[in-house]
Amino acid sequence: MRTELIHVGFGNFLAANKVVAIISPNSAPTKRVVQELKNKGMLIDMTNGRRTKAVVVTDSGHVALAAIAAETISGRLAAMRTGNNIHIGQSEEGGE
């Protein structure tokens, strides 16, 4: 089985087939889940010190924090699944 990686900003990648949900980090329930998983050691911080704009839930129960918008990650996943290639250098963060 081939693992496809999705770029989530600043040189960080996630396995596309492991993503269950991409959610906004602003709600209180999301913040509680993030804190609980941080305490359990199941949080992956991929923000490189920047503000969290998306929370990515994986099928293993781990959660990854990303510094790019949930819509951007969702669009990249959709493009990957339909066969359209997105170049890694094309991103919103501007810091790459």
Model confidence pTM above 0.85: no
pLDDT digits (tens, 9 = 90+) for 48-84: 999 999 999 999 999 999 999 999 999 999 998 887 6
Domain count, the chain: 1
Cβ atoms 56, 21 nearer than 8 A:
yes
Cβ atoms 40, 53 nearer than 8 A:
no
**Owning domain of residue 13:** 5-82
User: pLDDT tier at 39 (50, 70, 90 boundaries)?
Assistant: very high
Residue 52 maps to a domain: yes
Residue 32 maps to a domain: yes
Residue 66 maps to a domain: yes
Residue 13 maps to a domain: yes
Residue 63 maps to a domain: yes
Residue 94 maps to a domain: no
Residue 92 maps to a domain: no
pLDDT at 3: 86
Separation of alpha carbons 37 and 9, rounded Å: 21
Residue 89 maps to a domain: no
